[in-house]
Amino acid sequence: MMDFDRREIGWAASETPISYPAAVSAMEARAAEIHAGAASELVWLLEHPPLYTAGTSANPADLKAPDRFPVFQSGRGGQYTYHGPGQRIAYVMLDVKSRFGADVRAFVAALERWLIDALAAFGVKGVVRPGRVGVWVIDEADPSKEAKIAAVGIRIRRGVSFHGVSLNVDPDLTHYGGIVPCGISDHGVTSLAALGRETAMKSVDSALRAAFERQFGPTALARAPIGDALAPAPTSNS
């Protein structure tokens, strides 16, 4: 766990799917409040209806089915990605400047370690690869094959982060067929369900929260900006 500031970070969850534009608007407002010292840092868990987003490095040729789902331009880093039901989004609004200074790579690496730690609670070994942001799973039957299980895409404005990470719990993986995910065509995508692991979202949320606290510090239940539902506390054996 990072030994920066021990102040508690808000931890919130939305119970119903949140539209992408509404989520971005809420994140931007909260990030501005954090910068101004008017609100606490926040991790916001949610799901989106099926959609594609284009990061700042997206190649238009990687959008193979532009009419399949709504497509949104996003200010986050990265390329095209898919969001939809069964995928846990964690939007991370942290004062990165006070925690990591100007080292954005260290922040991204911390997010990846968080996801890897959470996956370990389900017996999944996540790995990172140079030049490929996110978390990957190696095929035990064929170690030359890897599939992405979690993505990372952030934006930092005035020292505060927004956007965040996505973890494939039990989404419809065929929905990724409309894009080249993150611009990488040599590897596939996977999920906890595809790996035969538990997919109860409450269990996933508890694992994410426990792993986040080990990496970033204590959290406190907070109200979600939209579609509020209090998130569960970590279990003692997480």
Active site residues: 182
Cα atoms found within 13 Å of the Cα of residue 105, Cβ hemisphere only: 3
Task: Report the chain's C-alpha Rg in angstroms.
Answer: 17
Structure token pair of residue 203: 């269990």
Torsion of the alpha carbons at 195, 197, 199 and 201, rounded to the nearest 10: -110
For the chain, what's the residue count? Answer: 238
φ, ψ at 173 (rounded to 5°): -65, -20
- Cα distance between residue 182 and residue 151, in whole Å: 9
CB 227 within 8 A of CB 14: yes
What do you get for the CA distance between the two ends of the chain, in Å? 15
CA torsion sign, 178 to 183 to 188 to 191? negative
